[in-house]
Structure 1
Amino acid sequence: MLTTQYVSGAPNWIDLGSPDVEASASFYRGVFGWDFQSGGPEAGGYGFFQKNGQTVAALGPLTEEGSDSSWIVYFHTPDADATAKAVEQAGGTVRAAPFDVFEHGRMAQFTDPAGARFAVWQSYSMKGLDLVTEPGSLGWVELYVPAPDAVRPFYTSVFGWRIEDKPFGDGNHYTMVSPAEGKGDDASMAGIVPLQGGTPHWLPYFEVADCDAAVSKAQELGGAVTMPAVDAEGVGRFAALTDPYGARFAVITSVAG
């Protein structure tokens, strides 16, 4: 499970690039009850989504010409420059070379060999998200690619992840990801899923108290359902959505455990 005790290779930040920051802030405020706190003029429109004063995500304007609105998942690294070299050596692409973000940390953005975008965050004064796995915060992430087995060597080379197939449902399996420092099933923090259509991507799951109510609210505010709510034994009830600008995300009401 995700925690805020960030270890190397674990998700520690997430942000949304939007063509309309104000409208996106309003949408997610309605769905999750988030407040948006601007980073000020020097941040170029970038700011922070907060739940009860704790940062749960971030939002900023699209900065790449021709890019689509999307959520980007960041993974903790102790050395962004070393990670950038590892990405290139493993066959990935550096989309944004490592750079410092004021005194907060150092970041870089990449594309894996399958075409899915992700980023890394090397913390200085800001370690990462303040809250995870609670309602209104990030609870899980999944990678959707056409050939999951083909990307395993890339991510194990870059982050040292442990990637294992676990039994799931009737004769099926689910590909589970854990950071190198994690031990046991409780350390799992991501999944890898075969892509059935569309472009490869990382999908964030946000925890909610009521999955169906969150889906209904998202639709009311202009979002769309890409996968209706379903139950998974031992996991919870979840659904996949897009916001009004096409950014993919999911909501989940996890079983108590």
Structure 2
Amino acid sequence: MLVAAEVRGAPCWLSLMTGDLRAAEEFYGDVLGWTFRPGGFGSASSVAELDGVPVAGISAVAGELAVPVAWTAYFSVDDADQAVARVRERGGTVGVGPVSYAPRGRAALVADPDGAGFGLWEGHVLSGWSVGGRAPAWLELRTRDAFDAALFYGEVLGWSEGGLGCCEASYEEDQVVLRAEGEAVARLNSGPVETGAEKPHERPRWLIHFKVHDVERAQAAAVAHGATAVSDSSETVRGQITLRDPQGALFTLHHVRP
């Protein structure tokens, strides 16, 4: 069921833009136990589910839109045109859109001033979808300065406006935590970032963490199905590992207790 996005500025969807839909379904189904049903954008799209709960959309449109194979986190906005203008005014860049997906809504692909890509969505979202808490995924922004990043996102997404139906960002234990209705839905972390190709996960970017009960087992399954690790073994010790799927999209496995 489609419902209007209830919390302005909150994450509202995860999307994988890939080159081969069936290959992506096979990989994530085997590694993360997802099942799939047809998406709302034709035969080249599907919705991934875990235990009947929607997790993400997968679309074989990377070549069509001339964008990299990648996972993207989308944030809800009231007006995509206005949000895109705010991105440009505040030093970000616009890659695609806004594009209309009538009657559901409008989308744009943009990047913050440090180059971290994300999506904007004006319209309806799937009922039952969420990140953070008990959801199967959560979001982390790795950036040079979390405070500066929070100012940018706050102004673009309306975090700084307050009021009902709006996210709230607060500085907690050396990171900025984004909360929607009191639930932590994303974390913005400061730290050294890389610009070279050797450590792509350490560039400024939104990392999508998928929760698993056994990181080493999930990593082994991913590698067996063609993924490659891009973070070192010390990350695994800390309960997470960042991988590149067989088509090139980065994602992070994150340990949670059963």
TM over 0.5: yes
Matches of residues 28-177 of structure 1 in structure 2 within 5 Å? 28-39=28-39, 43=42, 45-61=44-60, 62=62, 63-65=64-66, 67-124=67-124, 126-127=125-126, 130=129, 132-133=131-132, 138-161=136-159, 163-167=169-173, 173=174, 175-177=175-177
Over the aligned positions, Cα root-mean-square deviation in angstroms equals 2.8
1:245 and 2:247 are equivalent in the alignment: yes
C-alpha spacing 1:203/1:157, structure 2 compared with 1 (3 Å): same
Deviations 1:212-249 (A, max 9, x none): 22111111111122233133xxxxx3222111122111
C-alpha spacing 1:115/1:244, structure 2 compared with 1 (3 Å): same
Q: Which of residues 181, 184, 200 is equivalent to 1:187?
A: 184
Alpha-carbon distance in structure 1 between the residues aligned to 2:147 and 2:190: 10
Deviations 1:38-86 (A, max 9, x none): 337x636122112233321111120333x32110100122322221222
Give the % identical residues: 29
Paired residues of 1:109 and 1:120 also in contact (CA < 8 A): yes
C-alpha spacing 1:19/1:224, structure 2 compared with 1 (3 Å): same
145-154 vs 79-88, which moves further: 145-154
Paired residues of 1:204 and 1:250 also in contact (CA < 8 A): yes
Alpha-carbon distance in structure 1 between the residues aligned to 2:143 and 2:184: 22
Other-structure match for 2:164: none
Alpha-carbon distance in structure 2 between the residues aligned to 1:51 and 1:151: 32
Deviations 1:84-128 (A, max 9, x none): 22212212122222233232222222111111110022233x346
2:37 partner letter: Q
Paired residues of 1:13 and 1:129 also in contact (CA < 8 A): no
1:101 partner letter: Y
Q: CA deviation at 1:187?
A: 3.3
Gaps of 5+ in 1: 168-172, 232-236
Other-structure match for 2:165: none
1:143 partner letter: L
Gaps of 5+ in 2: 160-167, 195-199
Deviations 1:193-216 (A, max 9, x none): 435323432110011122222111
1:246 partner letter: G
Paired residues of 1:54 and 1:131 also in contact (CA < 8 A): no
Q: With structure 2 as the length reference, what TM-score do the two structures score?
A: 0.78
Q: With structure 1 as the length reference, what TM-score do the two structures score?
A: 0.78
Other-structure match for 1:220: 224
Alpha-carbon distance in structure 2 between the residues aligned to 1:255 and 1:51: 17
Alpha-carbon distance in structure 1 between the residues aligned to 2:56 and 2:185: 20
Paired residues of 1:69 and 1:246 also in contact (CA < 8 A): yes
C-alpha spacing 1:47/1:134, structure 2 compared with 1 (3 Å): farther
Paired residues of 2:230 and 2:243 also in contact (CA < 8 A): yes
Q: CA deviation at 1:255?
A: 4.8
Alpha-carbon distance in structure 1 between the residues aligned to 2:79 and 2:136: 24
SS of match in other structure, 2:86:
helix
C-alpha spacing 1:128/1:75, structure 2 compared with 1 (3 Å): farther
